[in-house]
Amino acid sequence: MQGVGFRPWVHQLARTHGLSGYVLNSTLGVTIEIEGSEAAQLRFLDDFRSHPPPLALIDELYEEILEAAGFTGFEIRESLSAPGEFVLVPPDIATCDDCLADFRDPANRRFGYPFTNCTHCGPRYSIIQDIPYDRRFTTMSEFRMCQACETEYHDPADRRFHAQPNACPDCGPWVELWDHERLLSTRAEAIRETRRLLESGRIVAIKGLGGFHLACLASREEPVRLLRERKRRSDKPFAVMARDLSVAEALSHVGDADRAALTSIRRPVVLMPRRRGSTVADAVAPGIGWLGVMLPYTPLHHLLFDDAGFDALVMTSGNLSEEPIASRNEPRLYGLADCFLIHNRRIQTRVDDSVVRTFEGRERTLRRSRGYAPHPIDLGIPVRQILACGGELKNVFCLTKEHYAVLSQHIGDMENLETLEAFRETLDHMKRFFRISPVAVAHDLHPHYLSTRFALSLEGVERIGVQHHHAHVASCMAENRLEGKVIGVAFDGTGYGTDGKIWGGEFLVCDYAGFERRTHFRYVPLAGGDTAVRQTWRSGLAYLRDAGVDTGFLAEQVAPEAFGVVQTMLSRGVNTVETSSCGRLFDAVAAITGVRLEANYEGQGAMELEALAVRAALPIAEAYPFELAGGELDFRETIRCIARDRSRPELVSGRFHNTLAHAVTDVCAGIAAEESIQRVCLSGGAFQNFHLLGRTAGLLRKAGIEVYLHSRVPPNDGGLCLGQGAIANRRLADASW
Ligand code: ZN
Ligand code: ZN
Ligand code: FE
């Protein structure tokens, strides 16, 4: 990969061992020739294997003995890159310890400088305009390096050798603090003043690496509530930035894998169980059991926390509700923040914070963006050049080439033109960076998704429609490099089915070439499609009616007029859709137990149920009865039991999770016996619920079934594109036979 300081590191190592030769980057990888005594060569190889540089991801290492060429000295050769070749573009990397030491050292020329970076850290993808990765093709081209920076840049022994964004207070970008009208302060004073504003409870928009954050104290209710009001975001959890690991540990229960994720060079937001009685305001993540925490990842963040009167800040994407994250010094955020800490290093590509959760000791990506994108996923098999457009919510697209899938950063919910524009811009960029001209475009079957419409508008490429849940399962297969047939379990909120109905509780037998829908949740008619996602009581009503339970208790909790209208719609079958959605079943349970009758964001009811199940004082082992017949999972008896137990939400939630886990296991065991397939892939947004995931994976393994989960791509719709790409690739291959 370019820009990770690999060649200077090799150069240093060779010199240490008194070897001559060269190091060269090419699209085949890195070539190193060393010449010298055998002992020195062996020591070099030993060091090379045991302590590679921090950012080098070495896939494979080949060695070969060559004739001596008589090198004099060791040199770094210019990289060779021919048009059409695949070049790896590095993601943005958190500030390294050496740079941290630099800007905290009063004697260093970068003391207190918020844009300190080196070959091991700093902005990359967010500032790259074109390749090769070279300063003149980044937004740093606007700044001319001073003599001191220039010297570092050209010195192979320096940590900043060829560090493209290299800068210092004399020659690089700076920060300014503005209110709505005027410049308040610049540089060090701007940072001090921002700290004071935050301490006094103000909301400050802070321009960061890949976009703006809106920041305020995490420990006080009022600023967080005010931020919610201004952002028009009532309950959806906010991420928190903690000063350091010890603060993160005071706020949440940090496991070993969480600690590794928190402190990794990618610095994602890590969802962890919240500590009771921590100092975080309730308004940060109301009603749910976990807290999203990240650590500072730019010098600016570290400077804000140094000597500050706070330990944790709410740091949420600076965007208007539903719009992509703001990245320019523009007035879009005027209504949201009191003040603006901006800088003059332009952001070429918007990149949101990534979100992960850990499970069974491994990082599980829920939103793959900053620090990860656009690092490719090696599929282990050759692929054609394909664009896969992804879905609608949490859109991510991917491009495939050679044996890689390059996933875009998180684009957002493709429900408006701003997001579509962000999609287009990023696509143009990535096509150029990776030199990919797709021969085919893969898309969801939903005719109204903007991503589908975009795909269908493309000329001169083969268009390949992929069923939503098939794509979910194929995505899990692709990241686990599975070939052949698997049993796919895809549980989510909404996906367009081949029968025109809304699917979401699906059991498939599939490979990349095709799928067979073996079992699904019983269809239930739902009134008002998308409205039902927000008004979860509609799901409650639909499932209660379907199960033949008296709905009087639910009616008491809903506005009578609306309730009557929906009753009529359901009775007459007007404006109803049939759905086998797992998400709506969760909504129904949340509504019946009174946990959530109206959702303020997608999946809120399910998250609150998960929190209740986890919090239950005693582990709940029992499950409710359900029926399985004729390829249909029927939860009517489950619903009747839940209605009976509804006054005890914790108990219901625990039992309901167990019920689903048992249902999955029964269905999969049946298919496994019939088809002799022992591999199950679990995918779909419902498996972001780790209580469900844990119970289900546990029971499946007990039944002797191999379980495959997501880890590098999200189980939610953010991972769809990878599955679409894998399926399209197979169809192209089959068609050319
Ligand atoms: Zn550094
Ligand atoms: Zn300088
Ligand atoms: Fe989905």
User: Structure tokens of 516?
Assistant: 């067979």
Which ligand has its closest atom nearest to the C-alpha of 687? 3
CB-CB contact of 723 with 470 (8 Å): yes
Ligand 2 mean position to 155 CA, how many Å? 14
Ligand 3 mean position to 430 CA, how many Å? 24
Residues in the chain: 737
CA distance 493 to 503: 8
Model's pTM, two decimal places? 0.93
The full 3-state SS of 679-737, as one line of letters, equals EEEEECHHHHCHHHHHHHHHHHHHCCCEEECCCCCCCCHHHHHHHHHHHHHHHHHHHCC
Ligand 3 mean position to 717 CA, how many Å? 5
Find the Cα–Cα–Cα–Cα dihedral 158, 160, 162, 164, rounded to 10°.
-170
Neighbours of 725 (CB within 10 A): 36
CB-CB contact of 363 with 266 (8 Å): no
Ligand 2 mean position to 176 CA, how many Å? 19
CB-CB contact of 103 with 117 (8 Å): no
CA distance 343 to 174: 6
Whose structure tokens read 């925490």?
293
CB-CB contact of 73 with 19 (8 Å): no
Ligand 1 mean position to 90 CA, how many Å? 14
Omega within 30 of 0 (cis) for the link into 223: no
Ligand 2 mean position to 244 CA, how many Å? 29
Ligand 2 mean position to 558 CA, how many Å? 64
CA distance 436 to 721: 16
Ligand 3 mean position to 582 CA, how many Å? 10
Ligand 1 mean position to 128 CA, how many Å? 18
Q: At what angle do helices 690-702 and 649-675 cross, to 10 degrees?
A: 40
CB-CB contact of 463 with 436 (8 Å): no
Ligand 3 mean position to 496 CA, how many Å? 9
Domains and CATH numbers, the chain: 6-76 (3.30.70.100), 175-356 (3.90.870.40)
- From residue 81, alpha-carbon distances to 10, 25, 129, 586 in Å are 20, 9, 17, 52
Whose CA is closest to 391, among 416, 364, 412, 367? 412
The single-letter code of the amino acid at 324 is P
Which ligand has its closest atom nearest to the C-alpha of 602? 3
All residues with CB under 5 Å from ion ligand 2? 146, 149, 168, 170-171
Which three-class secondary structure state does DSSP give residue 22?
strand
Per-residue model confidence (pLDDT) at position 1? 58
Ligand 1 mean position to 291 CA, how many Å? 29
Ligand 3 mean position to 471 CA, how many Å? 9
Which ligand has its closest atom nearest to the C-alpha of 54? 1
Whose CA is closest to 555, among 544, 545, 563? 563
Whose CA is closest to 89, among 133, 119, 26? 133
Whose structure tokens read 């999969």?
668
CA distance 714 to 395: 11
Half-sphere exposure in the Cβ direction for 82 (13 Å, CA): 3
Rg from Cα positions in the chain = 27
**Partners of 627 in the β-ladder:** 634
Ligand 3 mean position to 574 CA, how many Å? 26
Ligand 3 mean position to 685 CA, how many Å? 6
Average pLDDT for runs of 10 along the chain of length 737: 74 91 76 92 89 70 85 81 72 95 97 95 94 90 97 91 95 95 94 98 95 96 96 93 98 97 96 93 94 98 96 90 65 85 94 97 97 93 97 97 95 92 96 94 97 96 98 98 97 97 98 98 92 95 98 96 96 94 98 97 95 86 96 98 97 97 98 97 97 97 98 98 98 84
Ligand 2 mean position to 296 CA, how many Å? 24
Cα angle 58, 429, 400; round to 5: 50
Which ligand has its closest atom nearest to the C-alpha of 723? 3
Dihedral class, residue 39 (left if φ above 0, else alpha if ψ from -120 to 50, else beta):
alpha
Which ligand has its closest atom nearest to the C-alpha of 172? 2
CB-CB contact of 316 with 227 (8 Å): yes
All residues with CB under 5 Å from ion ligand 1? 96, 99, 118, 120-121
Ligand 3 mean position to 474 CA, how many Å? 12
Ligand 2 mean position to 533 CA, how many Å? 53
CA distance 519 to 460: 37
Cα angle 712, 233, 580; round to 5: 55
Ligand 2 mean position to 116 CA, how many Å? 10
Ligand 3 mean position to 686 CA, how many Å? 9
User: Structure tokens of 39?
Assistant: 């002992």
CA distance 354 to 303: 22
Which ligand has its closest atom nearest to the C-alpha of 116? 1
Ligand 1 mean position to 508 CA, how many Å? 47
Ligand 1 mean position to 596 CA, how many Å? 47
Neighbours of 481 (CB within 10 A): 11
Using the CB atoms, write b or e for 385-417: b if 16+ within 10 Å: bbbbbbbbbbbbbbbbbbebbbbbbbbbbbeee
Whose CA is closest to 11, among 79, 74, 80, 78? 74
The full 3-state SS of 126-145, as one line of letters, equals CCECCCCCCHHHEHHHHCCC
CA distance 17 to 396: 46
Per-residue model confidence (pLDDT) at position 97? 95
Ligand 3 mean position to 688 CA, how many Å? 11
